[in-house]
Amino acid sequence: MKKKIVISIIVVLILVIGIVSFILFNNSITTTITLDINPSIEINLTRNKKIKNVVALNDAAKKVLDKELKGESLEEALKWIMNRSIDLNYIDGETAVVLVMIDGNYNQDALRRLIANPLGERKRGLDMIVIDKISKEDKELSKKNNISLAKAHYINELVKERNIKVEDYINKSIREIKETMSTGNTCPEGYNLEGDFCIKEIDRVEAIKGEICPRGYREYKGKCYEESNIIDSDNYSCREGKLEGTICIIERIENAIVSKYTCSSGTLKRKSEVGIRSTGEDDYVCADTSNGKPPTLRCLTNPGHIMMNGKCYNGPAPTIGGGCPNGDSLVNGGCYSLDNYDQYVCPNGNIYHKSQNSVPEYCPETIKTIKPIVSEYKCEGNAELNGTKCITKESYDAERERTCKEGFTLVEEQMCINENNIKEYIEGYKCDKENTRLEDNICVILDIKEANKVE
């Protein structure tokens, strides 16, 4: 009898151990999927693809995971996570950018469909980025900053592409990191990157109740048109200048400055040196003075002006003690001083005055002049010399061309509307101030500035 009882106990124990082992085997974690949007969420799956647990890796994820997902299917869990991310504005564009890492055995395409389905129901697209390699540096960054391995890897990839600081992107969304990686746009601490602008919440006020356009529609010229997000294409354009890659080049061309002349005959002289009036341009001539004649001295015809030894004197003044003061010359018992108003005359009648320091060495009409040969040019500043022209190049970042998806029209460079789909106004809440965003009947007032560029 005792033997039968012992055997029964052993059988029961074996069954219990088998059942427990089976349960533990099927309930063990076999696959871990990490999702990063800005919420960073770790989903652990059992062998039978049920949710073992879901871990919030940052504060944003804690807000999303306000429902117990243990035991749910991955499809239901992803549906909740995507919808909550939209409701909480972690996904606020037309396309959700989701960073994914799969540790275990789960098909990427199947996962993509599970994420895309709830997004599609909310009229959002999916840009899924898959991380499949993790380095030692990624693990160190993840541990140091308490972020997912996938996000650590993505930030390290950004650092390789752009001259940025790692710590500036720890709390950024995956969409912002991707935007910075592709465009070079970045924002200071406290701002979120949206296209070419940095946006920060500065206040919240209650919205005003009144007539508004239905969700998905935008007011334009007094009507509600179906709206779609603007698409920044891969094409770039320039307001001015020539497009080279993603840079606009403006060339400014000016005449170069002559820095050196040479003469085939004669001597290089300024026009003023040979009595030719100059306007400042082409100020040089090649002058042959071999037959040049100097101007002729002519004394004033006023009484008391005489010429002695080729010079004009003015006088006479009385002598003092039989001599002349101040170096004056004694002539015929009178003192004469040099005349500072001498006149010089050329054959063509032109008169020059010594007092004005304008007497040329030769009369211009007696000199043979020819135009000099320009042998060298130069440019000022950072202009480059090209023949006889100076070329200055200026550059600025080209602008992405903005377009709309098919059926929509870009108006005022700010919105895409479907002019064939109009709806009536409805009662709702709206904001009456600029730079605001409506969230749950609250107007979020924003500080908006242009994004910075990094190399």
Q: pLDDT 10s per residue in the chain (455 long)?
A: 556 665 666 655 555 454 444 444 445 788 999 999 989 999 999 988 889 999 999 999 999 998 888 888 999 999 999 999 998 888 877 789 999 999 988 899 999 999 999 998 988 889 999 998 899 999 999 999 989 999 999 999 888 888 888 888 888 889 988 888 888 888 887 888 887 888 898 999 999 999 999 988 999 999 999 998 888 777 888 988 899 988 999 999 999 999 899 998 888 988 877 777 776 666 888 999 888 888 888 877 777 777 777 777 877 877 777 788 777 777 777 887 877 667 888 888 888 877 666 778 888 888 898 889 999 999 998 899 999 999 999 988 888 888 898 999 999 888 999 999 999 999 998 888 888 988 778 899 999 998 888 77
Alpha carbon distance 203, 447 (integer Å): 9
Alpha carbon distance 170, 147 (integer Å): 8
**β-bridge pairing 223-228 and 368-370:** unpaired
Predicted pLDDT of residue 5: 62
Question: 44: Cβ–Cβ under 8 A, 6 or more apart, which residues?
Answer: 29, 31, 32, 51, 52, 53, 54, 55
Single-letter amino acid, residue 452: N
Q: What is the pTM of this model?
A: 0.53
> Which phi and psi angles does 187 have, rounded to 5°?
-125, 155
Predicted pLDDT of residue 4: 60
Alpha carbon distance 251, 284 (integer Å): 31
Predicted pLDDT of residue 271: 84
Beta bridge partners of 331: 334
Question: 29: Cβ–Cβ under 8 A, 6 or more apart, which residues?
Answer: 44, 45, 46, 52
C-beta separation of 366 from 293 below 8 A: yes
Predicted pLDDT of residue 18: 47
Predicted pLDDT of residue 2: 59
Alpha carbon distance 29, 50 (integer Å): 9
> What would the 3-class secondary structure string for the chain be?
CHHHHHHHHHHHHHHHHHHHHHHHHHHCEEEEEEEECCCEEEEEEECCCEEEEEEECCHHHHHHCCCCCCCCEHHHHHHHHHHHHHHCCCCCCCEEEEEEEEECCCCHHHHHHHHHHHHHHCCCEEEEEEECCCCHHHHHHHHHHCCCHHHHHHHHHHHHHCCCCHHHHCCCCHHHHHHHHHHCEECCCCCEEECCEEEEEEEEEECEEEEECCCCEEEECCEEEEEECCEEEEEEECCCCEEECCEEEEEEEEECEEEEEECCCCEEEEHHHHCCCCCCCCCEEEEECCCCCCCEEECCCCCCEEEECCEEEEEEECCECCECCCCCEEECCEEEEECCCCEEECCCCCEEEHHHCCCCCCCHHHCEEECCEEEEEECCCCCEEECCEEEEEEEEECEEEEECCCCCEEECCCEEEEEEEEECCEEEEECCCCCEEEECCEEEEEEEEECEECC
Alpha carbon distance 225, 227 (integer Å): 6
Question: 123: Cβ–Cβ under 8 A, 6 or more apart, which residues?
Answer: 94, 216
C-beta separation of 401 from 287 below 8 A: no
**β-bridge pairing 217-220 and 223-228:** antiparallel
